[in-house]
Amino acid sequence: MTHEERIERLMHSASNCTHMLHAIDRKMADALVCLEEGRDEECKQLIAQLKDALPQAIAVLDLEK
């Protein structure tokens, strides 16, 4: 892989990660509202989604793969 190809790959990964982190931020805000309003089941579902999403966001930037 050339230097330019590697930079392009990293830029693409960073963009994907940014989009994923924005989605995670929105889900966290939704979970907080659910918690404040006592909607425990919905809050649990959102937290479960967050638990799955964070490792995916990390994997996007994993340079070892």
Q: Given the structure tokens 């937290």, which residue do they identify? A: 47
The predicted-structure confidence for 3-60, as pLDDT tens digits, reads as follows 999 899 889 888 888 888 898 899 999 999 999 999 999 999 999 998 988 888 788 7
The overall pTM is greater than 0.75: no
| Residue ranges in 1-65 assigned as alpha helix (H) | 3-36, 40-60
Taking the C-alpha atoms of residue 65 and residue 39, their distance in angstroms, rounded to an integer, is 39
Taking the C-alpha atoms of residue 16 and residue 29, their distance in angstroms, rounded to an integer, is 20
Predicted confidence band of residue 2 (pLDDT cuts 50, 70, 90): very high
Domain ranges of the chain: 3-17+24-60
